[in-house]
Amino acid sequence: MQPLILTPGDPIGVGPEVTLKALHRWRERPVRVLGDLEALQAASEQLGLSLHLPHVTLQAPAPTDEPVEVAAIREAVTALQAGRGAALVTGPIHKGRLIARGFQYTGHTDFLAALCEREGQVMAFVGGELRVALVTVHVPLRRVPDLLTPGHILHVLQTCHTALQRDLGIERPRLLVCGLNPHAGDGGALGTEEITAISPAVDQARARGIEAIGPISAEAAFMKARQDGGDMVIAMYHDQGLAPLKAIDFGRSVNWTLGLPIIRTSVDHGTADDLVGRNLADEASMVAALTHAHRLATQRERAQG
């Protein structure tokens, strides 16, 4: 059984703490931790938890000019592409600190897409009551309307449909597609993106046999999802999807990157600098990320015989 590869993320955030706590709860599959060993040792001493677990191997990435968390991600992807791991589980990175040091990406998702030489990745969240995918991610709100093209929205719908079928075994996924504007534009009175971009994408998706429903107002989409009226909500922008998700599922949901040739899951929280060193960081999302990665890896291994 190939191990999961876990990168704890920013060594001065809560990543080392939640990694260590989660590994003490985890037994389903071996884990190779690739990251800053000094930060993990410091967390071990502060928490009173051993670093030496029979199902875990620890390794620092090869020295480079990059921040250690970036080097670890790069090395992890190389290992996965070479077949030396089952899936990637990532701890939180701090985008601002990394960008100040020359990092050229808006986060894990863009960086992983570049490393895998694969465009069109989709950020999704699963694990609690809701499943949510984002059409646009880390962009200013004023740019969102220009990025909502029928082609891009259709790509997100197709990617979500394929992942839900292949990796979660949902035979006919129902996708609840949010509008951009209040009341999904109210027939054009409150905005036209539903007419010019979202509806055409939904129509094209249906023509491909995808059960896409919408555009509908975001509040209706999330209500329907909670009432078992859909398998995934497709949100048009970051906070439209993540505000309700985190209000309902924080600590249970998992960031799942769709459209990559590797499996990648992640915690649903940031570096939480205010909690560092206080033994207050909750490892539940890291445990959930390990659990979902193991589930996806096992399903793919079975499919491959």
Domains of the chain: 1-118+260-305 (3.40.718.10), 122-258 (3.40.718.10)
Return d(Cα 54, Cα 51) in angstroms, integer: 10
First and final C-alpha spacing in the chain? 13
Query: What is the average pLDDT value for the chain, to the nearest integer?
Result: 94
Predicted confidence band of residue 251 (pLDDT cuts 50, 70, 90): confident
**265 confidence band (pLDDT: 50, 70, 90):** very high
Mean pLDDT lowest for which of 83-97, 113-127, 197-211?
113-127
Q: Residue 45: pLDDT band by 50, 70, 90 thresholds?
A: very high
Give CA–CA dist 126/95, Å, rounded.
22
Structure tokens at 187: 């027939």
Per-residue pLDDT, 303: 78
C-alpha distances (whole Å) from 49 to each of 19, 213, 227 are 11, 48, 41
The pLDDT value recorded for residue 106 is: 83
Which tokens belong to 272?
A: 């939480």
pLDDT class for 301, splitting at 50, 70, 90? confident
- In whole angstroms, give the CA distance from residue 86 to residue 156: 25
> How many Cα atoms sit within 13 Å of 299 on the Cβ side?
15
When pLDDT is averaged across residues 150-173 and rounded to a whole number, the result is: 95
d(CA 277, CA 17): 8
Position 118 confidence tier, pLDDT thresholds 50, 70, 90: confident
> Residue 132 pLDDT > 90, yes or no?
yes
> pLDDT value at position 229?
78
Residues with Cβ < 8 Å from 82, sequence gap 6 or more? Answer: none
pLDDT at site 228: 79
Distance CA 86, CA 109 (A): 18
Mean pLDDT of 6-19: 96
Query: Which pLDDT value is given to residue 249?
Result: 87
pLDDT (mean) for 19-35: 96
Residue in 105, 118, 112, 103 with CA at minimum distance from that of residue 77:
112
| pLDDT(57) > 80 | yes
What is the pLDDT confidence band of residue 209, given thresholds at 50, 70 and 90?
A: very high
Which residues contact residue 34 at a Cβ distance below 8 angstroms, ignoring those fewer than 6 apart? Answer: 5, 6, 7, 59, 60, 61, 72, 75, 76, 79
The answer on pLDDT for 305 being more than 80 is no
Between CA 305 and CA 301 the distance in angstroms is: 6
CA-only gyration radius of the chain, Å: 20
Is the pLDDT confidence value at 300 over 90?
A: no
pLDDT greater than 80 at residue 53:
yes
Residue given tokens 């970036």 in the structure block: 70
Tell me what the mean pLDDT of segment 19-38 comes to: 96
Q: Supply the pLDDT for residue 107.
A: 85
**Residue 254: pLDDT band by 50, 70, 90 thresholds?**
very high
How high is the pLDDT of residue 252? 83
Q: Averaged over 179-192, what is the pLDDT?
A: 95
Q: Which residue has the higher pLDDT, 277 or 154?
A: 154
Is the separation of the CB atoms in 238 and 95 below 8 Å?
no
What is the pLDDT, as a whole number, of residue 140? 95
Predicted local distance difference test score (pLDDT) of residue 289 = 96
Q: How far apart are alpha carbons 112 and 23 in whole angstroms? A: 24
Distance CA 107, CA 217 (A): 28
pLDDT of 83 higher than 90: yes
Backbone angles phi, psi at 265, to 5 degrees: -125, 165
